Structure 1
């Protein structure tokens, strides 16, 4: 059993700091691996439609615009049920609600294998959004129950690195399923893809129910002094926050800037997330498995960049430049990927830079609203900000698909995504440092 130490009574500052670091390391190892696994399977179920498209479009006669609308309509369901879902989580507890979310989205994702028409494709994507609504903002809210603002970028980066890890795992896995299981049992490869990648969501949902705790006081694996330390640090953190009541959200101009910024960044993230396999195919790679393997590369680099930049931001307690610079780098990478499309190796380098820049913005971004909101306002506000971003999750893939149909090329769509990323980066620099650098 861990030694009971009163952090306040420790005679040496170094010993107090050591105790605090050890406590937060213990919490991180208890929570983050499972939450990261949850998001890996969540993101996999959300974007595997990008790989399914490689076969599904021909089998179901889907145009680029129809696919883009179907990929994006997920976010309509997500948008409509985001805030209510997060408020329910705040009331009933994260353990039960996150488990419910995961099991239901696993079921819906698996059933997508049976779609036969564009209409049913739209319906299942919408229902997947409804099922998953509240997961991401729920976890972001849940992290505020454990970690103060100045530790949150690193922790959030570890959680959001699941997006990159799902690309590392999901790319080769999806390509392998499409290539080797096509025709088995009379099913297409994309049908096997939806079925097999749904199973982990259900299993991990059950694990959440058995493993997570709703908050510090429920954590039997913490000593009394560790609980006291964590609670005391959160209490100090709450005093500095600006918005405590949900009704104050819409009167705060900074919240609207943050919402617009998130919209801009999500345009880039999901525009690339849903279209990366197609972009790689467009530079001359035809084999589905090779596309899957190549899609790993941008995500490996993104994990390294996310964690490194987030650590720097926490240590310096600086958010704006650590957010803006990756956004501008992501935009530049997108533009370069179009200009270098005739040179496959250089185009892959550009896509890798773009993906790393895009993903690195998100851990830093989520430090902004969580530094300003507390209580029910945090539950509602985080969900509202995320739901606004998810409007972009709907519009981004659809706009890229529409522009591809209209122009015969993905270039115009990629330029559009780069413009949004640049706009988001400039908005980050417009924020007052005193309000966000915590």
Structure 2
């Protein structure tokens, strides 16, 4: 079989294998650091679910108080998300992401000093404000380095940090809760916030020293390699909207995508915040055992997410991949409730749910990044993410209210399954984009 060649700068040619090598080089440079940063980000969001195993009793918080405190993070996140991403687009990812990580790492560590509902609410609000812009900033940043036909796989590798945060964070959080309890007179949940917050601030310093804002700044690529990537990104940009922020805010497709994302993320945060409590409810008692078991659904979620994103990249199709993943996630949640009396089958249901929910995420982000560019992408991605992540406020709070009223999470999981099905229906209404394929992409 002959090797296919493609036009390259200065009248030369570039084979697909050579282009693949360039993008592998880009991925090895960027993705590992971004991956570790997002593990820190996601642990910062969900470690409150593990802290609940001790913190709730220690501070005498009701389920509703705890759910409100866990969720109020996303109010601060919502209010500052769009401005943060617009600033990132203007000043560069390196300095802004570093600022975000240092500030949220210090605030996360400070959560160890919470001693009342009000201090819990206040620090969670400012923690959300500090982290605002990190996730949409990275999604925007990836559009600077990968064309559409390669972005889904890169996004899935970045988003694999979510299940890996569950795989690593569960056992680590469980160990800290048990093993560090009483050290220096602090409780295990206090040590958990401290030991997971300070490394985040250190990662922010690493981002400042290591990350490059744009392809033109990448001294680790040769001139020809920089030209290849820049050409691919420029070719794709010709099909995207470069519009004002206000026109993005009035774009019906952006709002529909935000509603879809709200439904998908409801399922994600329902699993993330309540998985430890659900595992405890099926009969597992030790914090370390709960942490180890919680790694199982996330492990399968990594595989499902990567394979789904790879399939979507090959077919340049996102709507049906997202819809099917959401339906599978809903089915898994329903199974976990139906098999509540059987710990093994209930865990199988939670694992299926996590696989379905996780597989929707990288595929979903292929839709807005296919038609938004420049400042429009910065504002649009942030708007979709901020509105979608309001479910991180509503889902834990509603589940907390339901559990207070019914003494069970079953009805709450039914609610999350319904959100996923609604999201699956709505995503099929999204008008598909004709994504330009740059000359050196598959």
> Which band: TM-score by shorter chain?
over 0.9
Please name the residue that 2:146 is paired with: 147
| 1:178-235 deviation per Cα after TM superposition (whole angstroms, max 9, x unaligned) | 1111111111110011011112101111110111000000110111111111111111
**1:301 Cα deviation from its structure 2 partner:** 0.3
Please name the residue that 2:401 is paired with: 402
Please name the residue that 1:104 is paired with: 103
**1:433 Cα deviation from its structure 2 partner:** 3.2
| 1:261-292 deviation per Cα after TM superposition (whole angstroms, max 9, x unaligned) | 01111111111110010011111111110000
Q: Where in structure 2 are there 5+ consecutive unaligned residues? A: 1-5, 438-442
TM-score scaled to structure 1, two decimals?
Answer: 0.96
**1:247 Cα deviation from its structure 2 partner:** 2.6
Contact kept, 8 Å, 2:74 with 2:125, in 1: the verdict is yes
Q: Measured at CA, do residues 394 and 223 of structure 1 come closer, stay the same or move farther in structure 2, by a change above 3 Å? A: same
TM-score scaled to structure 2, two decimals?
Answer: 0.95
Please name the residue that 1:382 is paired with: 381
Q: How far, CA to CA, are the matches of 1:68 and 1:388 in structure 2?
A: 19
Please name the residue that 1:356 is paired with: 355
Please name the residue that 1:201 is paired with: 200
Q: Does 1:249 align with 2:248?
A: yes
Please name the residue that 1:88 is paired with: 87
Please name the residue that 1:343 is paired with: 342
Q: Does 1:7 align with 2:23?
A: no
Q: How far, CA to CA, are the matches of 1:88 and 1:243 in structure 2?
A: 17
Q: Measured at CA, do residues 437 and 393 of structure 1 come closer, stay the same or move farther in structure 2, by a change above 3 Å? A: farther
**1:250 Cα deviation from its structure 2 partner:** 3.1
Please name the residue that 2:333 is paired with: 334
Q: Measured at CA, do residues 298 and 419 of structure 1 come closer, stay the same or move farther in structure 2, by a change above 3 Å? A: same
Please name the residue that 2:440 is paired with: none
| 1:283-325 deviation per Cα after TM superposition (whole angstroms, max 9, x unaligned) | 1111110000000000110001111110011011111111111
**1:251 Cα deviation from its structure 2 partner:** 3.3
**1:408 Cα deviation from its structure 2 partner:** 1.2
Structural mapping, 1:261-276, within 5 Å: 261-276=260-275
| 1:369-389 deviation per Cα after TM superposition (whole angstroms, max 9, x unaligned) | 111101111111111111101
Q: Where in structure 1 are there 5+ consecutive unaligned residues? A: none
Aligned residue for 1:58, secondary structure, equals helix
Q: How far, CA to CA, are the matches of 2:242 and 2:228 in structure 1?
A: 24
**How much is the aligned-residue C-alpha RMSD, in angstroms?**
1.5
Number of positions where the alignment pairs a residue of Structure 1 with one of Structure 2: 432
Structural mapping, 1:38-187, within 5 Å: 38-187=37-186
| 1:222-260 deviation per Cα after TM superposition (whole angstroms, max 9, x unaligned) | 111111111111111111124533232133221111011
Please name the residue that 1:313 is paired with: 312
